Structure 1
């Protein structure tokens, strides 16, 4: 038994494979992950030329980095987790964010700062529909893996419709005033800042136009003077 390789089950396809790995994936699924390895836009972290960042008049986050390209495989993976409640994918999604965190560190290698994590909140309506906030779960798993503090810093001021089928202009309009800062958590962040310079990561699942991330960053920067970064699972 000691000499027999351990058999594990792939969390994506369910096939058994020999050995173990951080993502709990078989070789076929692991090789299919479309990691973002080269960034073409230094602001949003896109892997191809970007025009959205040039059109944005105000950017309140320093930059965003994402782990994977939003291809059909990743779209189905997120749908299984986010809409069909397949929470066994939670460790995988959170662990994949470590790749985006590494991309951050490669361009912002500040060894003397404290990295902290927050996430995009859901409205009460959406939370009741799904039963969990995927961004919160990803943020908590990333924080656990990277040994970072996590803060529930934002709250939805109002419910907004799903953004996936909206135009860029509609997204920008819809996000205005959608978030507010939790004062009690803000005070915790102020206390943390007494220990040194704090850089804040905002976690979300998909970066499309950046309107959600930018609105979150604007609200946070209006409440406390710290650098804010985006860290998304896919782009």
Structure 2
């Protein structure tokens, strides 16, 4: 018995020696945003250090109920009835967020898809706080498709990747419902009117997908979330919503974007 106790004490002593450093100081982890190895006690689902987390310009309160902006939005005041019910976004699109998205979208840093996808959970929670939203939530998530030219150039669809991560986080199925009819080019230098004209008729529902989705819903109104990276004028999401509602007249379509 004494020998067994002695062996146990030696094992405990060895464990304490090996783990003292980890007990005194938190382990070093690599931040998924700045890629720096930093020590900190707290760890969040985004896997970013405290400094990076505090720098994220979260949209905490929605001022515009239509586009989800964090301040009054004159653009949405001019909008009449439209197919896209509303939109919510996770962050304001400032210089830091623009650089983060560029690293992922244009410079091929695909490890950032997990970070950006998990950030979408914040936008989803903004929906759940809205008193007009059915607390049963949504039936499925879809995403804005990219053209064949853009997919060949970039190698991935950022909206699809973020939608998959979001679906994993909130437990909703992700369905590929839309196809892009034509390549629309970059819209960054276009005016609002030019964007709307450029995107008109750009999307269509993949044949057969709408029928399967409607059957699964058992004739009730479907609630569909469309994921995209940045909401600027809403022209892209609006055209996606119009394509969906043309095939699914009873559907209610909502946008969910990473940045606004």
1:209 equivalent in structure 2: 233
SS class of match (1:183): coil
TM (norm. structure 2) is 0.86
2:216 equivalent in structure 1: 192
**Gap runs ≥5 in structure 1:** none
Q: Deviations over 1:53-112 (max 9, x none)?
A: 122344211110000000000000000000001011011000000000000111144234
1:111 equivalent in structure 2: 135
1:68 equivalent in structure 2: 91
Are 2:28 and 1:28 equivalent residues in the alignment? no
The one of the two structures with greater contact order (alpha-carbon pairs below 8 A, sep at least 6) is 1
* Greater Cα shift, 56-65 or 195-204: 195-204
2:38 equivalent in structure 1: 17
2:120 equivalent in structure 1: 97
How far apart in 2 are the matches of 1:178 and 1:54? 25
* Greater Cα shift, 11-20 or 45-54: 11-20
Are 2:203 and 1:179 equivalent residues in the alignment? yes
Q: Choose 1 or 2 for highest CA Rg.
A: 2
How many aligned residue pairs are there? 235
1:229 equivalent in structure 2: 254
How far apart in 1 are the matches of 2:64 and 2:137? 24
TM (norm. structure 1) is 0.95
How far apart in 1 are the matches of 2:221 and 2:125? 19
What is the Cα deviation at residue 47 of structure 1?
A: 1.0
Runs of 4 or more, structure 1, over 3 Å off, are 111-114
**Gap runs ≥5 in structure 2:** 1-18
How far apart in 1 are the matches of 2:133 and 2:196? 31
How far apart in 2 are the matches of 1:114 and 1:16? 38
